[in-house]
């Protein structure tokens, strides 16, 4: 590195790493800390060699987040790797040998990236840990790409695998000082490009300037922060790190008869679930992510570590920062830990499959069940084409044929579920239901009934080998769902041959519809036009362009029509206050033009 860096480290680390100049540059300067390792809430940082910042008088003290006045521009991947190594070393005490073996610097400036794995020298209080599920593919392909997203992106310049909140804070502070963008990434399952670098500039002087997209980008891959730190069975809560997968958490809680009720797609992790504010099939009963998180630990854009609350089930102390961060997609702060609400696993869960002649009849049955207070754990609607695609792979799953179906889950005690089943059967018959199949989810017959829903997306893709799938996510008031689905059916009935194929599923209990738009390369424009039309129709019906998948980059165009300029001004003001350097996931969630409105 051609620009010196100042590294704060413990006395032990300074003796071990006396030759760290081989890692961070020949002109690096070392300052030995007078005491032990720093607290997680105030980690040491890597700062550019510059004139010392004048000491502020008590009257001048401010709590505002500020942009460092004179950043050192990162001019190469090697330099970026150096400053990231130094920031991690300052809090983990990793040896020179460890750091050199944990960093890969690519030769190709456009395609290769740094891969940094930081390991703490002391053991962590991790009662339960899970192995990483990451494949061994090169980092650019893993972290500049998502198999479930249609967005075209580029590879990041660096990937950092932190193991603690202190390491995240150190890296973020370093990136703030050097004007480097930071994108937190969990399981990489988000659909609207939330975890992907949108655009990047070249390595040259001025790359740290005012335009966020012209800066280097670091991915903070959280999947090695995968520990369940605490489980309080009596209080029904757990504290977990951001990289814990929700399916792994379920397996860890099962022996105690507990569950975490939010169930998004396979592979999602808690930090990403907080970032998108996701939900899933159980939202009709347990609510979305925001309803199931008590508090968060997060890192602000300047490296400040803060907590949004405690473990209490209710609190009005301070502003509700928990709700502010959930759904913010890593644009305001980076979530590192979460305190989650847990629930007792139900005594029994049964699955019911009911065919209907039309989607309107199916929606009316679901609305009646919700209004009647039935203990629904899920109410999933699939239209005729979707059921046909499932039957093409497994006819036994939907024996009634390619007609609309609702797949229900009823859960609770045996007595409550038996009563709910009888009430639901009568309701389905009144709504015109043409059949009834019921089985306990814990036996093969019940699991097979639910597999029809679980395999829906894969069945749609399998019907069109080599095609791309765009998944929409509109949500409307419950009473407007039949109109939305019927309008979509009418539009699709009038399209010319050769248009994209469309299959529909819906979390019908809360009005959230997903259209799987399967298209070939020549049909891409038509696919996006349909997705935009669905968003406009949902907004016109009093709904939203996204119920659970989030905004990312793909839904930015719909925010002004849905929310109005006043909302955009407030969002831009919050972003400017919490992230004045615009380094946290720029170009996502908050429209770039919103600043002009503010």
What are residue 496's phi and psi, to 5 degrees? -75, 160
Only one residue has tokens 């089943």, namely: 421
What backbone torsions phi and psi does residue 392 show, to the nearest 5 degrees?
-65, -30
Q: Which two tokens stand for residue 215?
A: 């800066």
Query: Which of 549-558 are b and which e, b meaning 16 or more Cβ less than 10 Å from the residue's Cβ?
Result: bbbbbbbbeb
Q: What is the DSSP string of 206-241?
A: TTTSS-GGGS-EEEEEGGG--EEEEEETTTTEEEEE
User: How large is the C-alpha radius of gyration of the chain?
Assistant: 26
440 forms beta bridges with 350
**pTM of this prediction exceeds 0.85:** no
Ordered per-residue pLDDT tens for the chain, 598 residues: 333 333 333 332 332 233 223 323 322 222 222 223 333 333 333 333 333 334 444 444 455 666 666 556 666 777 777 777 788 778 777 666 555 544 444 443 333 333 343 333 333 333 333 333 333 344 444 666 666 677 666 778 888 888 899 999 999 999 999 888 999 999 888 888 888 887 543 333 333 344 565 678 888 989 899 999 999 999 999 999 999 999 999 999 999 999 999 999 889 999 999 999 999 999 999 999 999 999 999 999 999 999 999 999 999 999 999 999 999 999 999 999 999 999 999 999 999 999 999 999 999 999 999 999 999 999 999 999 999 999 998 888 898 899 999 999 999 999 999 999 999 999 999 999 989 999 999 999 999 999 999 999 999 999 999 899 999 999 999 999 999 999 999 999 878 778 999 999 999 999 999 999 999 999 999 999 999 999 999 999 999 999 999 999 889 999 999 999 999 999 999 999 999 999 999 989 997 766 555 4
Beta carbons within 8 Å of 411's beta carbon, 6+ residues apart? 285, 346, 348, 349, 350, 375, 377, 417
Q: E-assigned strands of 493-555?
A: 501-507, 512-519
DSSP 74-128: P-SHHHHHHHHHHHHHHHH---HHHHHHTEE--SSTTT--EEEE---SS----SE
How far, rounded to the nearest angstrom, does the alpha carbon of residue 12 sit from its chain's CA centroid? 38
- Residue pair 309/315 in contact by the 8 Å Cβ criterion: yes
Q: How far apart are CA 425 and CA 442, in angstroms?
A: 21
Q: What is the DSSP letter of 245?
A: B
* b/e sequence 503-536, b meaning 16+ C-beta within 10 Å: bbbbbbbbbbbbbbbbbeeebeebbbebbeebbe
Q: Are 584 and 334 in contact (CB under 8 A)?
A: yes
Question: Helix (H, G, I), strand (E, B), or coil: what is residue 251?
Answer: helix
Q: Residues with Cβ < 8 Å from 443, sequence gap 6 or more? A: none
Chain centroid, CA 501 distance in Å: 27
Please say whether the beta carbons of 460 and 342 come within 8 A: no
**Helix, strand, or coil here: 393?**
helix
Extract the tokens encoding 393.
């792979």
Alpha-carbon separation of residue 177 from 17, 201, 461 (angstroms): 23, 18, 45
CA angle (153, 156, 157) in 5-degree steps: 145
As given in the structure block, the two tokens for residue 322 are: 């928990």
Q: In angstroms, rounded to a whole number, what is the distance separating the alpha carbons of residues 385 and 403?
A: 8
pLDDT at 147: 65
CA atoms of 526 and 519, how far apart (whole Å) = 8
Backbone angles phi, psi at 474, to 5 degrees: -80, 155
**Tokens 């003001």 belong to which residue?**
573
Q: Is 522 helix (H, G, I), strand (E, B) or coil?
A: helix
Q: 10 Å Cβ neighbour count for 282? A: 24
Task: Let me know: does 215 contact 178? Beta carbons within 8 Å.
Answer: no
Q: What is the pLDDT of residue 32?
A: 25
């Amino acid at each position: 590195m051609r620009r010196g860096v100042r590294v704060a480290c413990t006395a032990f680390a300074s003796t071990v790493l006396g030759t760290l100049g081989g890692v961070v540059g020949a002109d690096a300067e070392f300052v030995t800390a007078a005491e032990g390792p720093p607290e997680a809430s105030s980690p040491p940082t890597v700062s550019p060699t510059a004139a010392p910042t004048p000491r502020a008088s008590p009257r001048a003290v401010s709590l505002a987040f500020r942009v460092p006045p004179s950043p050192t521009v990162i001019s190469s991947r090697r330099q970026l790797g150096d400053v990231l190594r130094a920031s991690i070393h300052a809090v983990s005490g990793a040896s020179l040998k460890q750091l050199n073996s944990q960093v890969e610097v690519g030769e190709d400036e456009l395609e290769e990236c740094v891969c940094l794995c930081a390991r703490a020298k002391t053991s962590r209080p991790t009662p339960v840990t899970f192995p990483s599920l990451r494949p061994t593919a090169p980092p650019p392909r893993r972290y500049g790409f998502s198999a479930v997203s249609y967005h075209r992106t580029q590879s990041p310049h660096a990937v950092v695998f932190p193991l603690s909140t202190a390491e995240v804070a150190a890296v973020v502070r370093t990136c703030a000082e050097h004007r480097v963008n930071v994108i937190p990434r969990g399981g990489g399952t988000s659909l609207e490009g939330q975890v992907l670098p949108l655009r990047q500039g070249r390595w040259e002087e001025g790359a740290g300037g005012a335009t966020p997209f012209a800066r280097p980008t670091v991915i903070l891959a959280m999947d090695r922060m995968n520990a369940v730190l605490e489980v309080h069975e009596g209080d029904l809560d757990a504290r977990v790190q951001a990289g814990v997968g929700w399916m792994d958490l379920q397996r860890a809680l099962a022996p105690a008869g507990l569950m975490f009720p939010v169930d998004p797609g396979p592979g999602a992790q808690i930090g990403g679930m907080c970032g998108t504010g996701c939900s899933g099939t159980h939202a009709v009963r347990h609510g979305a992510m925001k309803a199931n998180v008590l508090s968060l630990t997060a890192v602000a854009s300047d490296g400040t570590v803060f907590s949004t609350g405690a473990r209490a089930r209710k609190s009005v102390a301070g502003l509700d920062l928990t709700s502010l961060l959930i759904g913010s997609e890593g644009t305001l702060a980076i979530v590192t830990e979460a305190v989650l609400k847990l629930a007792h696993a139900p005594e029994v869960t049964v699955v019911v499959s009911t065919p209907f002649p039309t989607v309107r009849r199916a929606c009316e049955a679901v609305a009646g069940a919700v209004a009647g207070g039935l203990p629904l754990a899920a109410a999933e609607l699939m239209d005729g084409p979707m059921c046909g695609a499932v039957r093409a792979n497994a006819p036994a799953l939907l024996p009634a044929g390619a007609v609309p179906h609702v797949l229900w889950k009823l859960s609770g005690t045996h007595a409550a579920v038996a009563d709910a089943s009888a009430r639901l059967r009568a309701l389905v018959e009144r709504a015109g239901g043409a059949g009834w199949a019921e089985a306990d989810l814990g036996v093969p017959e019940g699991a097979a009934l639910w597999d029809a829903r679980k395999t829906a997306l894969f069945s749609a893709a399998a019907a069109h080998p080599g095609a791309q799938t765009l998944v929409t996510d509109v949500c409307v008031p419950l009473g407007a769902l039949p109109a939305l689905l019927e309008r979509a059916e009418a539009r699709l009935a009038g399209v010319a041959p050769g248009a994209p194929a469309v299959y529909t599923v819906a979390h019908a209990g809360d009005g959230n519809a997903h259209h799987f738009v399967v298209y070939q390369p020549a049909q891409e424009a038509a696919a996006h036009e349909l997705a935009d039309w669905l968003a406009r129709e949902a907004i016109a019906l009093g709904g939203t362009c996204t119920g659970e998948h989030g905004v990312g980059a793909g839904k930015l165009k719909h925010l002004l029509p849905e929310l109005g300029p006043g909302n955009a001004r407030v969002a831009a003001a919050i972003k400017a206050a919490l992230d004045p350097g615009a380094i946290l996931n720029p170009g996502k969630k908050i429209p770039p033009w919103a600043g002009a409105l503010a």
